[in-house]
Structure 1
């Protein structure tokens, strides 16, 4: 009898652990924009890891704090406008030829953890390009819907501003 209880306890523990792990699945956000400019021109505007403040309206300053710009392992400190909150990010991969980079958030004010995102510029024909910005993350300090809405808002604001820079 005690052997049966031990087996059931182990099975219940395994099921509980599996249920907890299933609840930890990543969320995702993705936005894209067609820009009225050749991909090379758009990449020139957004392709430097240390220059997010030049095209994202929520970022007041970008500073490389560790490593070298556009080199994997480089870390940037973003200072946000308004409240002056900060976000520290690390470059994971950088592909100038493929016009893409991937980064993670190490620390910051956004309601996410385990965040990983990629920005890519692709030619779209007729001297236009498509920029996609997508990421995966877990909610932290907010519910899933709020975290997802926040990240989608960050992406949309940046891409809308970028589009406006080339429409002028």
Structure 2
């Protein structure tokens, strides 16, 4: 009898662990690019939280709506080109010396929830830099593959445009 109880508890524990793991799992996306410019020059272009439209081709305008630009708690409203959809994002961390910032999506048209992303610029040799953009999220209003493809597409479009801005 005690063996049956032990097996029952083990099975229940496995089911509970599986349920917790499923609820805690999130999707991820990551893109990186080598840019033909110094890290300082690239950071000068992308390091302003309130100026995503200055380098990302999908963003028609960026407006800081809450807080102070480049300080945690600042929120930006992105108006997208094409259909004019909007995305509100909040700055979570900003490290000018480390050339990195982290933000979350508060609300918007992208098919994600619980989204958190970091963009970082690092030197990569003689007058070049590596920019990485990665995030974690859950799908919302779309399947996992579509949500992941969408976010990877956002990152790739921005990084491809950035490379073109510094092309020789």
TM-score (norm 2): 0.90
1:87 is matched with 87
Aligned to 1:163: 163
Which deviations, in whole Å up to 9, do the C-alpha atoms of 1:32-71 show, x marking residues without a partner?
A: 0000000000000000000000100000000000000000
Q: In the aligned structure 1, how far is the partner of 2:108 from the partner of 2:83?
A: 13
Pairwise CA RMSD of aligned residues?
2.0
Q: TM-score, normalised by structure 1?
A: 0.90
Aligned residues: 164
Shift of 1:15: 5.4
- Deviation of 1:12 after TM superposition, in Å, equals 7.5
> Could you list the runs of 5+ residues in structure 2 that have no partner in the other structure?
none
1:23 shift after superposition: 2.0
Find the counterpart in structure 1 of residue 21 from structure 2: 22
Cα distance in 1 for partners of 2:16, 2:48 equals 42
Measure the CA separation in 2 of the matches of 1:143 and 1:12: 30
TM-superposition CA deviations, 1:8-45 (whole Å, max 9, x none): 6x988765554333223011100000000000000000
Provide the residue aligned with 1:36 in structure 2: 36
Other structure's SS at 2:154 match: helix
Deviation at 1:100, TM superposition (A): 0.3
Instruction: Provide the C-alpha distance between the structure 1 equivalents of 2:13 and 2:76, rounded to a whole number of angstroms.
Output: 40
Work out the CA distance in 2 between the residues paired with 1:104 and 1:13.
35
Paired residue secondary structure (1:167):
coil
Q: Distance in 2 between matches of 1:21 and 1:58?
A: 36
Tell me, in whole angstroms, the C-alpha distance in 1 between the residues paired with 2:115 and 2:102: 11
Q: Describe how 1:63-74 pairs up with structure 2 within 5 A.
A: 63-74=63-74
